[in-house]
């Protein structure tokens, strides 16, 4: 984020993939569990069946001055561990009623969604210190709290995520509108807009005409094409908007203009988890680790190698 001072994080979100079964696995087969779950870096208490899944943030006063409104952001991360990959494969459809609220009856009563995505969103685990409530309950409670706190201001809600996180963002956006979470309580303010920005989103469920989402995907990325349509007969095609290549949008000025980046897309981010940059760019391969391999973020928001020999 180029201007981190524009937002402040108010809550971290946690999800569980296995409920009581995963808790039993953690107790009975710790070796297997260590292979399946992302482990905390420190000696954090709790069960390894819960994982950090995202966060809720709200615009600061400085952010409001820049944006013109009090924006609430929900961010979901993508798939990180093997158990989450297993959930991604649970593509059989189940009723979407848990997230449809007032839309659960009538023409949408037969709506279906990907079973694995819905499970990650709605599962809880009484044996976990982080997931006694589901990711869904956590995010709706926190966004509802912020809507109450800023009920007399002009607000907006932005939901985003990558891959599995994009699927969760799709469910969250529908859930908040269907259950009136975007309605300021006891206020003259109208319901605020809910915007979904999805990155490489898989197919989530069958068509939901009320959903309007911006989907960003690379043309050769197979994730947005899964589950295959022959297996998922109806789905929310979150790619109906123009598919965008982010760097291309940032630098394209039309047929008669030269390509020139006007949005500071930091090239160092290419090598966060890969080794794709040419040698002319002094950026270590796979540098996004605990100590960042001496990569430091400058005041301009750009990452670069901290060359101690120049100090």
Spatial distance between the Cα atoms of 177 and 117, rounded to a whole number of angstroms: 19
pLDDT in tens, 207-241: 666 667 787 777 776 665 665 554 444 444 444 43
> Which residues, at least 6 apart from 299, have a Cβ–Cβ distance to it below 8 Å?
none
For residues 38 and 47, is the Cβ–Cβ distance under 8 A? no
Structure letter (DSSP) for residue 12: E
In CATH, what is the architecture of 4-265? 3-Layer(aba) Sandwich (3.40)
pLDDT in tens, 13-63: 999 865 444 443 444 434 333 433 444 444 444 455 688 899 999 999 999
Write out residues in the chain with pLDDT < 70, as ranges: 1-2, 17-49, 80-91, 207-211, 221-250, 264, 290-293, 307-311
Domain with CATH 3.40.50.1820 in the chain: 4-265
Spatial distance between the Cα atoms of 164 and 254, rounded to a whole number of angstroms: 33
For residues 201 and 230, is the Cβ–Cβ distance under 8 A? no
């Amino acid at each position: 984020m180029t201007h981190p001072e524009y937002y402040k994080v108010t809550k971290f979100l946690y999800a569980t993939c296995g409920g009581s079964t995963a808790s039993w696995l953690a107790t009975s087969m710790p070796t297997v569990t260590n292979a399946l779950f992302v482990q905390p870096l420190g000696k954090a208490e709790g069960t390894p069946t819960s994982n950090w899944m995202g966060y809720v943030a709200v615009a600061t006063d400085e952010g409001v001055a820049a944006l013109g409104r009090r924006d609430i952001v929900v961010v979901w991360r993508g798939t990180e561990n093997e158990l989450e990959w297993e959930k991604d494969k649970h593509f059989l459809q189940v009723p979407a009623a848990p997230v449809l609220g007032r839309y659960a009856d009538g023409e949408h009563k037969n709506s279906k969604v990907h079973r694995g995505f819905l499970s990650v969103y709605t599962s809880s685990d009484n044996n976990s210190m982080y997931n006694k409530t589901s990711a869904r309950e956590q995010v709706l409670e926190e966004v509802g709290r912020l809507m109450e706190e800023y009920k007399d201001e002009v607000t907006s809600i932005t939901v985003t995520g990558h891959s599995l996180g994009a699927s969760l963002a799709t469910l969250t956006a529908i859930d908040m509108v269907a259950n009136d979470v975007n309605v300021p309580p006891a206020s003259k303010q109208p319901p605020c807009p809910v915007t979904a920005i999805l990155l490489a989103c898989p197919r989530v469920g069958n068509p939901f005409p009320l959903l309007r989402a911006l989907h960003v995907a690379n043309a050769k990325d197979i994730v947005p094409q899964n589950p295959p349509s022959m297996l998922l007969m109806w789905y929310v095609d979150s790619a109906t908007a123009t598919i965008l290549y982010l760097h291309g949008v940032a630098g394209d000025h039309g047929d008669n203009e030269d390509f020139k980046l006007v949005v500071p897309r930091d090239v160092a981010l290419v090598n966060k988890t890969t080794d794709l940059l040419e040698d002319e760019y002094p950026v270590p391969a796979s540098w996004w680790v605990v100590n960042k391999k001496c990569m430091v973020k400058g005041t301009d928001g750009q990452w670069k190698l901290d060359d101690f020999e120049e100090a």
